[in-house]
Amino acid sequence: MGLGRQGDQQGTMYLAWDEIPRSRGHAFYDRLQQILRKAGFDGFAEKLCKPFYSDKGRPSIPPGRYFRMHLVGYFEGIDSERGIEWRCADSLSLRNFLQLSPKESVPDHSSLSRTRSRLPLATHQEVFTWVLKLLSKDGLVLGGRIGVDASTMEANAALKTIVRRDTSESYRKMLLRMTKESGIDSPIDEDLARMDRKRVGKTLSNKDWRSPVDPEAKIAKMKDGRTHLAYKPEHAVDLDTGAVVAAEVHEADKGDTSTLQTTLKAAQESLRRVTSTPPCPDDPAELVADKGYFSRDVLKVLDGGPWRTRIAEPKRNGLNSWRGDQEARRAVYNNRIRISSMVGKAMGKQRTELVERSFEHTLDRCGGMRRVWLRGRENIRKRYLVHVAGFNLGLLMRVKTGHGTPRGWASAWLALIWPDQHPSMAYLAIVMVVKGRCCGIIPIAIICGGE
């Protein structure tokens, strides 16, 4: 065998497509592609988006490719559209998933942004509902028990850019003014920090401050205790399967009790379009939530409606004073009886597991959207709906193939202790199985003995 030497190569003028070396592709995306094609995703997306395209001009991104690129953002854990473009351009498997010909380039991130701005929010909601219907055909959307919870997403705006609502004065200018009024004519950064640390009534209220770059972002405390400009995503999850039936993005300063009705309305509409038995007063669905959603007014409104509440009740000091409000009294006592039962306690544990898992996948471990790079609540809602649709498709892939993400598929291995015996010896071995194929046998112990 001769030694191969690396040298300068002269490029060929023509190259046939079948002469280009290609890999076998990523098995996860190949299976996902089969599911989308069998369900007619591209035809559905083109028909849905046709009213927003013109018959003239240069052809733009096909709708199916636009939504696929955002699905790649979820499965690859990429939060920015620029990163999605780079990842798709760097992978032949993802180019095949996007159905790109050899002469086509990956759509630019600016094209994704323009397409998202031109397609309305209702179109993205239709894609989310289409994925739910796909799950419903496999029995993954039942709608009998729904868990609700919320989290936080860091907005694409910095706290140092906030200004006062009344005077449009920035935070730094306010500190400079207060420091000069205290007697320091030429304050430095240390003086400003000292003034900020010692000033009386130091607060950052959304009533007094706003962000000029993203007015809908609100000051809020994140899950890790930091304070940032943020948004509040809220999920309604089917506790029987783990599928997200509604995903809303609210302003971060809205309390759980004020956003619950909007999320429940979206969940009820999704279940009405997906299942044959949506929640109704005659056949209510179980609603499970934590104590942040507990309110007399909320329970009174939901009592006797399409939702049977099992909302955790916070501990109170002293006795309840109803002041003649018998409807609230009945609703609170009925909810207390339901959450104290064994069934209610079991549902509370399921809510903690499944709803928190949906946030862990979409915001942290897989999806990576704890920090958003878009501005405006409607823009974020469009991206987030397709993002959560990717989470639901991952659930479908987990049922069909055993793995819900490309990373989980690639790292699928199983170590088995395989004992065997021989008349004169016995040995133990580890059998390594990757994607259903045996890739090696590693002996770990050999025990010899006489007859």
Higher per-residue pLDDT: 125 or 177: 125
Quick check: 157 pLDDT over 80?
A: yes
Taking residues 423-449, report their average pLDDT. Answer: 49
Residue 451's pLDDT band, with cuts at 50, 70 and 90, is very low
Identify the H or E element spanning 124: helix 121-137
Are 152 and 252 in contact by the 8 Å Cβ rule? The answer is yes
Spell 38-60 as b/e; 16+ CB within 10 A means b.
eeebbebbeebbeeeeeeeeeeb
Strand, helix or coil for residue 287: strand
Taking residues 47-61, report their average pLDDT. Answer: 86
Quick check: 449 pLDDT over 60?
A: no
Quick check: 447 pLDDT over 60?
A: no
Q: Can you point out the beta strands (E) in 244-297?
A: 244-251, 285-289
Residue 318's pLDDT band, with cuts at 50, 70 and 90, is confident
Q: Which of 167-176, 226-235, 315-324, 425-434 is predicted least confidently?
A: 425-434
Ramachandran angles phi, psi of 435, nearest 5°: 55, 40
Token couple for 366: 């897989």
Q: Is 133 left (phi over 0), alpha (psi -120 to 50) or beta?
A: alpha
**pLDDT tens-digit readout, 356-388:** 999 999 998 877 899 999 999 999 999 999 999
Q: What is the pTM of this model?
A: 0.85
Are 72 and 94 in contact by the 8 Å Cβ rule? The answer is yes
Q: What does the pLDDT read at residue 125?
A: 97
**pLDDT tens-digit readout, 406-420:** 888 776 644 334 444
How far apart CA 223 and CA 216 sit, in angstroms, is 20
Q: What does the pLDDT read at residue 7?
A: 60
Ramachandran angles phi, psi of 70, nearest 5°: -70, -30
Taking residues 125-151, report their average pLDDT. Answer: 96
Token couple for 78: 């990429």
Ramachandran angles phi, psi of 426, nearest 5°: -135, 145
Are 288 and 261 in contact by the 8 Å Cβ rule? The answer is no
Residue 6's pLDDT band, with cuts at 50, 70 and 90, is low
Q: What does the pLDDT read at residue 417?
A: 42
The percentage of residues in the chain with a pLDDT greater than 90, rounded to a whole number, is 62
Q: What does the pLDDT read at residue 10?
A: 62
In single-letter form, the type of residue at position 240 comes to D
